[in-house]
Structure 1
């Protein structure tokens, strides 16, 4: 088996409208809006099925039994889910003083490393600006090696020159992809692909192959480039933790709100049914039932919307460093 290394010039982006839509649904889109889309599709489907008499919701149907038993117990299950999510969040937030100090030291160490490599007295606190600093420093370091290669007395190998040109483009592409004051999920989405790992593996091999022939400044820059790519890997994992914590906290709160509303709705829909009759005009019953079911499934839609993003982030950040699952290449 041969080992192939290559450099990437840009981060992964959707090439087609379908890819962009899928990315928006799975990762970048506002979660309540995605959930609202799920609810709308469900309500429309139920309304169509009722209108063509595939689903029966009249006084002599089993709708009252479904609302009074199955859906009510399902809504109460939302409370259990919300409690479990809260416990998960608390397990992340709480810790011993030693654990919390270790987390703080780790984040400060990352910031100090990037500040040293960028020759800056401090680094931004905004995640997008911090990642932009890493990207621009990466481009500058790679450009410095290209400048050295153009000077007399040393001829850079073609392979090294091509790799540095790709890294200059890669850093600039990351910087261009970052929006000002962008949501944290959008910042994370820029570096979800395997490009940093491919570039890290290539830079490591180039250092091993050409370290003895590189001028001193180029050797320092190449080592800095590898450390900057490592910083992208660490930042990616840190941003992932922050995104999941924010999402699960928001999900827990929204499940409580929507669950209470769904409980009121399911009780109300159960009580409009009486023996062989209903308390509202029969002509409005299909609309009321369709909208009511939409409210009832809203907690499940919210849960699905947030879990889709969590699963997508977890799948794409399953490894740290230059190990890339075949399906992600």
Structure 2
């Protein structure tokens, strides 16, 4: 396996790392959350209709008022309590933005210090304000320093062939991955999942480990110039970690605000439909069948699906947040998932 982590559990793309490939990635993180909520509702609706049609029991129970009242009353309570809890949670998240001026100045100073450190590392005077452009600059810097490593390597005529191949394989892998990721980040608007998805593709943790491993393994053979180029490359990767985590945190707050807005939009229509099902609707008014399925069952199932729409939207958003959080639990050279390192388990 290459040092860049191009195969196995250290694959460069998210689709290659996640079991199930592209469909699972779409469902978990990349798909439109309203579309994912629609899939959840469709599955729940289909299961309800199937069980109502073929499961044990009698469809005649729908013609009695008590089952409808017992079904939809908890839905109303759930909508009101659920929306209230989410909005309260939203206020707790936003409270992190509030504080005395001393705290705000400290946050500002830390942010500016980090920017200056990054500017010094990548050789730029002023770093861009947009998250996507800032991260793209860091990725480009790793690619540039990887190219520098390759240039320094060519100047070492007496280097052992195995050491040369080891360093070259690592640097070429980093350069190729940086070239692949850069167009994906360029022009992405913060607030959409595109920015987070693009940087998740860049497995910097493995690159830090592999870079330190290559450097330490061949420190006595490489020239000072090549070692310095490797140090600069690893330093760029170390800057990428906290930058990604910072923008990920901001994105989570953005998503929580989006959840609150979405629930506000759909909660009142859902409440209206559920209230109608309790106060007005009678199963006998829609007697008949569609494709052999009782019409009353279809309408009741549809009313229930509309009633739990706020819950399905909440699940769809939370599914993405917790998935991204799981994928990025560790910052730096610690890799929580299994890695394809073969039998190389010794400390170096």
Query: Which interval holds the TM-score relative to the shorter structure?
Result: 0.7 to 0.9
Q: Give, in whole Å, the separation in 1 of the partners of 2:230 and 2:34.
A: 44
Partner of 2:40: 38
Name which of 4, 8, 11 aligns with 2:5. Answer: 8
2:150 matched residue in structure 1: 146
1:302 CA displacement: 0.8
1:314 aligns with 2:321: no
Which structure 1 segments of 5+ residues have no match?
none
Q: C-alpha offsets along residues 152-178 of structure 1, whole Å, 9 cap, x if unaligned?
A: 666373222222222212222322443
Aligned to 1:114: 118
* Residue 88, structure 1, aligned to residue 99, structure 2: no
Aligned-residue offset at 1:271: 1.0
Cα distance in 2, alignment partners of residues 152 and 170 from structure 1: 25
Distance 1:66 1:136 in 2: 60
Q: Give me the TM-score of the superposition, normalised by structure 2.
A: 0.81
1:218 offset after TM fit, Å? 2.8
Give the structure-1-normalised TM-score: 0.85
CA distance in 1, matches of 2:194, 2:280: 45
Give the unaligned 5+ runs of structure 2: 289-294, 341-348
Gap change, CA 1:316 and 1:130, over 3 Å in 2: same
Measure how far apart 1:5 and its partner are: 10
| TM-aligned CA deviation for residue 209 of structure 1 | 4.6
Counterpart pick for 1:260 among 250, 268, 292: 268
Question: Mean alpha-carbon deviation: is it higher for 145-154 or for 8-17?
Answer: 8-17
Aligned to 1:178: 185
> Which of the residues 246, 249, 258 maps onto 1:238?
246
Question: Which of 278, 301, 305 matches 1:290?
Answer: 301
Over aligned residues, Cα RMSD in angstroms? 3.0
- Could you tell me whether the CA contact under 8 Å between 1:72 and 1:263 is conserved in 2? yes
Structure-1 residue corresponding to 2:109 = 105
Matches within 5 A, 1:153-192: 155=159, 157-158=163-164, 159-178=166-185, 180-181=187-188, 184-192=192-200
Q: CA deviation at 1:182?
A: 5.1
Asked whether the equivalents of residues 233 and 320 of structure 1 are also in contact (C-alpha less than 8 Å), the reply is yes
8 Å CA contact 2:73–2:278 kept in 1: the answer is: no
Q: Is the 8 A contact 2:29 2:320 kept in 1?
A: yes
- The counterpart of 1:60, out of the listed 53, 59, 64, is 64
How far did residue 256 of structure 1 move? 2.2
What's the CA shift string for 1:7-31, capped at 9, x where partnerless? 3356223249941111111111121
Question: Which residue pairs with 2:291 in the alignment?
Answer: none
Asked if 1:271 is matched to 2:271, the reply is no
Contact 2:145 2:229 in 1 (8 A): yes
Whether the 8 Å CA contact 1:71–1:266 is kept in 2: the answer is yes
d(CA) in 1 for partners of 2:239, 2:4? 17
C-alpha separation between the residues in 2 aligned to 1:232 and 1:134?
A: 6
> What's the counterpart of residue 292 of structure 2?
none
The CA distance in 1 between the partners of 2:339 and 2:327, in whole Å, is 7
Cα deviation code 1:216-248 (max 9, x no counterpart): 443332222111111221122112102211111
Query: What is the number of residues matched between the two proteins?
Result: 323
